[in-house]
């Protein structure tokens, strides 16, 4: 927003309460033409980069610092299994973007199908992660085994929690759509949750490479 000492530069009818929609036809009633919710979610995602950056850095710092003789990353990682999990999460980004496309076209049946598919793929990823954790614990790696174990579980656990929250939000959207409470005018709600969902996907892209694939 630019502040001047001159007269208000918005059209006369836009300066009054309740008529902001006439500021710029087709745009939200903000001075940037962007909705506050969308600006907020992007600022939130920017801050999440710092959170996950911290967790990944801590892992990289600690993974080689474990006591000799204790479990090390590549003693227990099952790359083919994690590759399938990564593929599942990647494909959930496709179904999410197809859900957004569906609501923007007013196709609510397709919206529900894609939302549910995305939630199922996300749920499969979380289930796969739980199974992976139980295998690791059975092999002797837990939170207190060594620095690798602590940093690995905290980092991937935080990511899994984000995916779980995403799945819950997707199921809420699906439920709203079934009840008819998600009209096409609210497509931005799907877009915002979609942005969050794609973010957890890109975080996994980084984790999969830096944690699992790079020795």
- Applying CB under 8 A, does 201 fall inside the site for another protein? yes
* Residue of the chain from 28, 128, 149, 166 that contacts another protein (CB under 8 A): 28
CB count in 10 Å sphere of residue 96: 28
Site string for another protein, 51-80 (x = CB under 8 A): -xxx-xx--xx--x--------------xx
CB count in 10 Å sphere of residue 3: 4
- Applying CB under 8 A, does 190 fall inside the site for another protein? no
Minimum separation from the CB atom of position 154 to another protein (A): 16
- Applying CB under 8 A, does 87 fall inside the site for another protein? yes
- Applying CB under 8 A, does 147 fall inside the site for another protein? no
Positive or negative, the CA dihedral 87, 56, 53, 153 is positive
**CA atoms within a 13 Å half-sphere pointing along the CA-CB vector of 116:** 11
CB 114 within 8 A of CB 95: yes
> How would you label 141-156 residue by residue, b for 16+ Cβ within 10 Å and e otherwise?
beeebbbbbbbbbebb
Of 85, 120, 116, 123, nearest to 99 by C-alpha is 116
- Applying CB under 8 A, does 32 fall inside the site for another protein? yes
Which among 28-36, 127-135, 139-147, 148-156 is the span making contact with another protein, rule CB under 8 A?
28-36
Q: Where do contacts with another protein occur on this chain (CB under 8 A)?
A: 1-10, 14-15, 23-24, 26-28, 31-35, 38-39, 42-43, 45-50, 52-54, 56-57, 60-61, 64, 79-80, 83, 86-87, 90-91, 93-94, 96-98, 101, 188, 194-195, 198-199, 201-202, 205-206, 208-210, 213-215
């Amino acid at each position: 927003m630019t502040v001047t000492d001159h007269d208000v530069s918005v059209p006369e009818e836009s300066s009054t309460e309740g008529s902001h929609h006439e500021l710029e036809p087709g745009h939200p009633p903000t001075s940037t033409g962007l909705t506050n919710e969308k600006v907020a979610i992007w600022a939130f995602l920017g801050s999440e980069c710092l959170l996950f950056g911290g967790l990944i850095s801590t892992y990289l710092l600690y993974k080689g610092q474990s006591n000799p003789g204790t479990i090390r990353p590549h003693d227990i990682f099952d790359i083919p299994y994690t590759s399938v999990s990564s593929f599942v999460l990647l494909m959930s980004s496709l179904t999410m973007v197809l859900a957004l496309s569906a609501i923007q076209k007013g196709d609510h049946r397709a919206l529900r199908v894609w939302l549910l598919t995305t939630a199922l793929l996300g749920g499969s990823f979380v289930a796969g992660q739980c199974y992976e954790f139980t295998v690791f614990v059975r092999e002797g790696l837990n939170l207190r085994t060594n620095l690798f174990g602590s940093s690995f579980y905290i980092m991937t656990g935080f990511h899994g929690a984000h995916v779980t929250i995403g799945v819950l939000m997707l199921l809420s959207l699906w439920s709203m759509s079934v009840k008819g409470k998600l009209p096409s005018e609210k497509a931005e709600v799907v877009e915002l949750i979609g942005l969050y969902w794609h973010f957890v996907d890109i975080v996994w892209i980084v984790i999969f490479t830096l944690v699992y694939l790079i020795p």
